[in-house]
Amino acid sequence: MYPGETSVWHMATLPKKESREIRKIFGVLERGWRSLRVLVAVGKTLWKTSIFYDNKLGAYILPLKADVRKKEKISSWDTINFSIEIQI
């Protein structure tokens, strides 16, 4: 995650291997800023958002808003488990 405990948004980086697979299968569906619409689940929290491909990282990043971090007790630099479903 990127630092900034009080910021509204934090970003989680998806693993590179999974990012490559997602991009290979769904890359043609990318919209502005190389984004893909997704349904995300972290713990008991489920929401719709987008993931964004970062060329420098070679991976997608997932924005985590403050409301989600608070509900799921996520702090900066935590490793989190989540599932994503690409929305076509």
Read off the tokens for 49: 């958002």
In a domain, 64, yes or no: yes
Global model pTM greater than 0.85: yes
Give tens-digit pLDDT for 59-78. 999 999 899 999 999 998 89
Residues 6+ apart with CB under 8 A from 78: 1
Contact 14, 62 (CB under 8 A): yes
| Kind and range of the H or E run holding 25 | helix 16-26
Supply the DSSP symbol for 78: -
Domain range for 28: 9-86
Q: Domain total for the chain?
A: 1
In this predicted model, what pLDDT tens digit does every residue of 7-64 receive, in sequence order? 677 999 999 999 999 999 999 999 999 999 999 999 999 999 999 999 999 999 999 9
